[in-house]
Structure 1
C-alpha cells in the first residue's frame, strides 16, 4: 500500500516542473538566533514605544533603528514561521514580520525545505558591519536563509529555476525586500526590507499578505506559475531597478 504524496511534495513538484519548462534540465541540487531573554513573552502586537534599554540610536543601512536585544520589551521578537520546522525567527513585529515570514515560507515551499537553524534573523549590533546590508539584521528588518550554503561574497549558489522563484517572490511583494545577491558584494543568503520606516508600500503589501491568509489558494504554499509572462515581466523589471540601485 503506497502513501499518498503530501501537499508540500505536490507543491514542490509543481513548482519544479513549471520552472523547469523555462530553464531546461537544471540539476537540483551565527551567529545569533535572537534569544536575549527567551523567557519574555512576545506582545500580541508591535510596540509603539519600545523600552529605552533596547534602543541604540543608530540606524541600519536601510534606515531602521538597531536594537541591543531581542525578546525583551523592544520591537523585535522571535516569531513563528507556520508550515516550517523552524523554531521561529527574530524580526521586527508588525508589517516587517508579515513580509519576511511570507518570504521565508515561500522559500521553504518552493525553493528548498528549511531545517531548524537555517534562518537567522536579528543579530546583535556588535556582530554586524554597520555600514553594510547585514546591519539590517540588527534592526530586525532582514533575515539570512541558509548562510552556510550561500556564503557572503560568492555568487551562483542557486540553480536557475530557484532564481526564478526568488525573483518572483520579490516581485510579488512589490520590491519592499531587497535580495543581497544584487549587492556589489553579494550575500545571496540575505533578504532585507528595502523601504524606510513609515513607507506606505510596506503597509500595503503586508495588508495584502494578511488578507491572503484567509483566502484559499492565495498566499505562501499556493501553487503559482513563476514562468507566466506577466509575472516574469514584473520580476525582470524589478530586478533591473534593484540592480541599478546598488
Structure 2
C-alpha cells in the first residue's frame, strides 16, 4: 500500500486537502485513518483523530504514528495524549485496511454483538458506552464511542464506525444499528445525525434501547431540514 491510495480514500469534497496516517498500537498492530470532512465543517474528522479512535475502539493503545511530511490537524494533541513516537515515512507500514470488515451472515442476530461491543467502549468521563454496526452489501463494521482527556476530541460510536468504513475504501452503506447500555433511549447525538445525513441520507437506522425495545427510523427523519452539501460550492 502507498500513501496515494489512502489519500484517495479521504473524503474531502470541500477542501480537496487529503490527509492520511497510520497508528501503531502498543501490541504492534496497525490502524489507518483518513480525513473525513463534513458539510458542517467543525464536525470534520482529522486523519490522526480517526486513526487513534479506530485503534482505541479495538481495545488497543496508540504508541506510534506514521505520516508523510505534511501538516496534520490535531497532531500535537494526539502525540501528547499517548506520547506517540512520530515516524515520517515514504510509504505506510500497512498492507491493507480491510481487516476490520466482517463478512455478511444471513442468520446474524445483531443485538448480542452490539451488547458485547459495549465492553470495548472507552468512556472514562461519561461512563455511557455506545456501540454501533454499519452494514454494507457484503458485511459490516463495528464501532464504539471513544473519550480522551479533551472532551471535544472524543468520537461517538457512529462516527468511529463510519471512519472505519471510509478508511477501508467503502462508501456504499445499507443501514446503521446503534445500542446503548444506559439511558431512556438509544439515539444519535446532533453531531452524529449531521454526519449520518452526509453518508447515509435516506437509510434505515435501528436503535436498540437499553431497556430492550427497538425503534426503526429513516435517517432523514432524525435530522429534518438538515444542512446539505449541495448548499456549498465545492472545489474544482
Higher RCO (C-alpha under 8 Å, 6+ residues apart) = 1
Of structures 1 and 2, the larger Rg is shown by 1
User: Scaled by the length of structure 2, what TM-score is found?
Assistant: 0.32
Higher share of residues assigned helix: 1
Q: TM-score, normalised by structure 1?
A: 0.31
More strand by share: 2
